Structure 1
Amino acid sequence: MAVSDWRKSVVYQIYPKSFNDTTGSGMGDIRGIIEKLDYVQALGVDFIWLTPIYESPMHDNGYDISDYYKINERFGNIDDFKTLIQEAHQRGIKVMLDIVINHTSTSHEWFVEAQKSKDNPYRDYYIWRDGDYDSPPTNWESKFGGNAWQYDDDSNQYYLRLFDVTQADLNWENDAVRRELYEMINYWIDFGVDGFRFDVINLISKGDFENTVHGPGKEFYTDGPKVHDYIHEMNRSTFGGKDIMTVGEMSSTTIDHCIKYTKPERQELSSVFNFHHLKVDYPNGEKWTSSPYDFIELKRILMEWQEGMDQGGGWNAIFWCNHDQPRVVSRFGSDRTDEERVLSAKMLAISLHGLKGTPYIYQGEELGMTNPKFSRIDQYKDVESLNAYESLRAKGTASDAVLKILSEKSRDNSRTPMQWDNSKNAGFTDGEPWIDLAPDTSVVNAEAALKDEESVFYTYKKLIELRHETDILTYGSVEPLLMNDQNLFVYKRILDGEVLTAVANYSNKSVPYPENISIDGSVLISNYDDTVDVLRPFEAKLLHRTE
Structure 2
Amino acid sequence: MSTDLAPEIADVATAQWWRSAVVYQIYPRSFADGNGDGIGDLAGIRQHVDHLVDLGVDVVWLSPVYPSPGDDNGYDISDYRGIDPVFGTLEDFDGLLEDLHARGIKLVMDLVVNHTSDEHPWFVDSRSGRDKRDWYIWRPPRPGRVGGEPGAEPNNWSSFFSGPAWQYDAASGEYYLHLFSARQPDLNWENADVRRAVYNVMNWWLDRGIDGFRMDVINLISKRSELPDGPVASGRQLGDGFPHYGDGPRIHEFLAEMRREVFAGRPGAFLTVGETPGTTVDVARHYTDPARAELDMVFHFEHVGVDHGPSGKFEPAPLAVPVLLDVFERWQTGLAGAGWNSLYWNNHDQPRVVSRFGDDGRFWRESATALATALHLQRGTPYIFQGEEIGMTNMPWASTDELRDIESLRYHAEAVGSGLDPAEALTRIRRMGRDNARTPMQWSSGRNAGFSSGTPWIAVNPNAERINAEAQRRQRDSIFAYYRELVRLRHDLPVVAHGNFVRRRSPAADVFAFSRRFDGTELAVAVNLSGRAVPIAPLTGVPVLANYDGAGDPATLRPWEARAVLQH
Give the TM-score category using the shorter length: over 0.9
* Residue aligning to 1:194: 211
Q: Mapping of 1:195-344 within 5 angstroms?
A: 195-207=212-224, 208-214=226-232, 215-242=239-266, 243-284=269-310, 286-311=312-337, 313-337=338-362, 340-344=363-367
Range moving further from structure 2, 128-137 or 354-363: 128-137
Q: Contact conserved, 1:255 with 1:305, CA < 8 A, in 2? A: yes
5+ long unaligned stretches in structure 1: none
Take 2:288 and 2:536, find their aligned partners in 1: how far apart are those partners? 37
Deviation at 1:129, TM superposition (A): 0.5
Deviation at 1:493, TM superposition (A): 1.3
Q: 1:260 to 1:20 in 2, by over 3 A?
A: same
* Residue aligning to 2:84: 72
Take 1:320 and 1:238, find their aligned partners in 2: how far apart are those partners? 30
Residue in structure 2 matching 1:520, options 540, 547, 559:
540
Q: Contact conserved, 2:309 with 2:316, CA < 8 A, in 1? A: no
Q: Contact conserved, 2:408 with 2:429, CA < 8 A, in 1? A: yes
Residues 1:494 and 2:517 are matched in the alignment: yes
* Residue aligning to 1:99: 111
Q: Contact conserved, 2:508 with 2:536, CA < 8 A, in 1? A: no
5+ long unaligned stretches in structure 2: 1-12, 142-146, 233-238
Residues 1:536 and 2:558 are matched in the alignment: yes
* Residue aligning to 1:55: 67
Q: Contact conserved, 1:476 with 1:493, CA < 8 A, in 2? A: yes
Take 1:179 and 1:324, find their aligned partners in 2: how far apart are those partners? 29
* Residue aligning to 2:95: 83
SS at match of 1:17: helix
Q: Contact conserved, 1:247 with 1:269, CA < 8 A, in 2? A: yes
Residues 1:130 and 2:144 are matched in the alignment: no
Deviation at 1:245, TM superposition (A): 0.8
Take 2:265 and 2:320, find their aligned partners in 1: how far apart are those partners? 41
Q: State the percentage of identical aligned residues.
A: 44
Residues 1:364 and 2:387 are matched in the alignment: yes
Range moving further from structure 2, 254-263 or 189-198: 254-263
Deviation at 1:291, TM superposition (A): 3.1
Take 2:148 and 2:71, find their aligned partners in 1: how far apart are those partners? 24
Aligned AA (2:368): A
Residue in structure 1 matching 2:532, options 509, 520, 527:
509
Q: Contact conserved, 1:509 with 1:536, CA < 8 A, in 2? A: yes
- RMSD of aligned residue pairs (Cα, Å): 1.2
SS at match of 1:436: coil
Residue in structure 2 matching 1:183, options 200, 204, 210:
200
Take 1:143 and 1:504, find their aligned partners in 2: how far apart are those partners? 35
Take 2:264 and 2:347, find their aligned partners in 1: how far apart are those partners? 26
Residue in structure 2 matching 1:46, options 15, 38, 58:
58
Take 2:382 and 2:47, find their aligned partners in 1: how far apart are those partners? 24
Q: Contact conserved, 1:296 with 1:484, CA < 8 A, in 2? A: no
Post-superposition CA distance 1:351-407 (Å, at most 9, x none): 111101100000000000000121211111100000110111112111111111000
Post-superposition CA distance 1:228-261 (Å, at most 9, x none): 0000100111123541111000010011111111
Runs of 4+ with deviation above 3 angstroms: none
Q: Contact conserved, 1:310 with 1:477, CA < 8 A, in 2? A: yes
TM-score for the superposition, normalised by structure 1: 0.96
Aligned length: 536
Deviation at 1:481, TM superposition (A): 2.4
Take 2:175 and 2:507, find their aligned partners in 1: how far apart are those partners? 49
SS at match of 2:82: strand
Residue in structure 1 matching 2:413, options 380, 390, 393:
390
* Residue aligning to 1:26: 38
Q: 1:154 to 1:483 in 2, by over 3 A?
A: farther
Aligned AA (1:211): D
Take 1:206 and 1:485, find their aligned partners in 2: how far apart are those partners? 44
Post-superposition CA distance 1:21-63 (Å, at most 9, x none): 0111110000000110011111000000010000000110110
* Residue aligning to 2:173: 156
Residue in structure 2 matching 1:141, options 151, 158, 164:
158
Q: Contact conserved, 2:508 with 2:534, CA < 8 A, in 1? A: no
Take 2:551 and 2:317, find their aligned partners in 1: how far apart are those partners? 34
Post-superposition CA distance 1:497-542 (Å, at most 9, x none): 221111011111112223xxx5100111110121121211110011
Deviation at 1:290, TM superposition (A): 4.0
Take 2:496 and 2:322, find their aligned partners in 1: how far apart are those partners? 23
Take 2:332 and 2:208, find their aligned partners in 1: how far apart are those partners? 35
Take 1:373 and 1:482, find their aligned partners in 2: how far apart are those partners? 38
Take 1:443 and 1:241, find their aligned partners in 2: how far apart are those partners? 50
Take 1:290 and 1:325, find their aligned partners in 2: how far apart are those partners? 13
Q: Contact conserved, 1:287 with 1:409, CA < 8 A, in 2? A: yes
Range moving further from structure 2, 283-292 or 186-195: 283-292
Q: Contact conserved, 1:127 with 1:160, CA < 8 A, in 2? A: yes
Aligned AA (1:315): W
Take 1:482 and 1:405, find their aligned partners in 2: how far apart are those partners? 34
* Residue aligning to 2:6: none
Range moving further from structure 2, 280-289 or 469-478: 280-289
Take 1:289 and 1:510, find their aligned partners in 2: how far apart are those partners? 30
Q: Contact conserved, 2:508 with 2:535, CA < 8 A, in 1? A: no
Aligned AA (2:109): L
Aligned AA (2:420): T
Take 1:484 and 1:25, find their aligned partners in 2: how far apart are those partners? 54
* Residue aligning to 1:464: 487
Deviation at 1:122, TM superposition (A): 0.7
